[in-house]
Amino acid sequence: MSTLVLAAHGSADPRSAANARAVAHRLRLMRPRLDVRVAFCELNTPRLVDALTPGAIVTPFLLADAYHARSDIPRQIAGFAGVRQADVLGEDHRLVAVLRERLCGAGFSPLDPELGVLVVAIGSSHAAANARTASVAPRLAAGARWAGVTTAFATMPGSLAEAAQQLRRRGARRLVIAPWFLAPGRITDRVHNYATAAGIAMAAPLGAHRLVAETVLDRFDEALVEPIAA
């Protein structure tokens, strides 16, 4: 039996770990013969190193190819026999579809020409990761008639306010935040507080949607067929 270790970031907010476990439950239903384990890079248990088994494929439950995917996970799994690391979820078209669904579920139409959509992600010190994240906005906007779509990063001071002003300059009379986050947590709460104070609506994070789990399985499958480095 193959082993998929779903490696989540970890958070002091229990909703984040609960979401990772909900995705793992979906994975088990979708592929019953797969050994699915949840582990965390920090703050929660089980720790990643405690969930590893020879030949396991560590599949980062992360959107961005930033610190945890580039440095932390490789460091933690180094030396474990046959353990490989899959790619991050990234800007997969299925996740963009989930984000669009979250907006529609919150009552926002893709045909509203007065709507400005603010895609908010956590942000990284790694410029290439931010550049990849910024590609979500134009993908989300494809086929929509909104006044504009732009990107902001929650960990960068002033980013949200600047992005909101940019959308209003483009003619947006109403704004909504589309959170590029896998789960609710302290940072999404901070974004929500900003949105409430600024009179901006906010959709739900991606959550444990079926397409999120499907994307995780694809990353696992891609890593499974890659040859093990000598």
Same domain for 81 and 59: yes
CA-to-CA dists, residue 157 to 126, 161, 169, 175, 199, angstroms? 16, 9, 20, 19, 19
| Residue 35 falls inside a structural domain | yes
| Residue 11 falls inside a structural domain | yes
Same domain for 215 and 196: no
Q: Quick: pLDDT tens for 178-224.
A: 999 999 999 999 999 999 999 999 999 999 999 999 999 999 999 99
Same domain for 163 and 112: yes
Same domain for 101 and 84: no
Q: In what order do the strands lie in the sheet with 148-153?
A: 148-153, 115-121, 174-179, 201-202
| Residue 230 falls inside a structural domain | no
Same domain for 187 and 97: yes
Say how far apart CA 189 and CA 186 lie, in whole Å: 5
What the block records as the tokens of 195 is 């949105």
230 pLDDT band, cuts 50/70/90, is: very low
Same domain for 176 and 112: yes
227 pLDDT band, cuts 50/70/90, is: low
Mean pLDDT of 127-143: 96
| Residue 158 falls inside a structural domain | yes
Same domain for 64 and 126: no
Residue 154 structural domain: 93-202
Please give the tally of structural domains in the chain.
2
Same domain for 82 and 12: yes
pLDDT of the residue at 1: 74
Same domain for 102 and 7: no
Query: Is the pLDDT score of 158 beyond 50?
Result: yes
Q: Quick: pLDDT tens for 86-129.
A: 999 999 999 999 999 999 999 999 999 999 999 999 999 889 99
Tokens 């592929």 label which residue?
31
Say how far apart CA 185 and CA 188 lie, in whole Å: 5
Q: Are 44 and 61 in contact (CB under 8 A)?
A: no
Same domain for 80 and 32: yes
Question: DSSP class of residue 191?
Answer: H
Mean pLDDT of 138-161: 96
| Residue 58 falls inside a structural domain | yes
Same domain for 70 and 31: yes
pLDDT of the residue at 229: 53
CA 75 to chain centre: 22
Q: State the CATH number of the domain containing residue 53.
A: 3.40.50.1400
Say how far apart CA 41 and CA 79 lie, in whole Å: 17
Same domain for 47 and 13: yes
Q: Quick: pLDDT tens for 41-70.
A: 999 999 999 999 999 999 999 999 999 999
Please state the φ and ψ torsions of residue 116, each to the nearest 5 degrees. Answer: -110, 130
Is the peptide bond between 54 and the residue preceding it cis, with omega within 30 degrees of 0? no
pLDDT of the residue at 228: 62
pLDDT of the residue at 226: 81
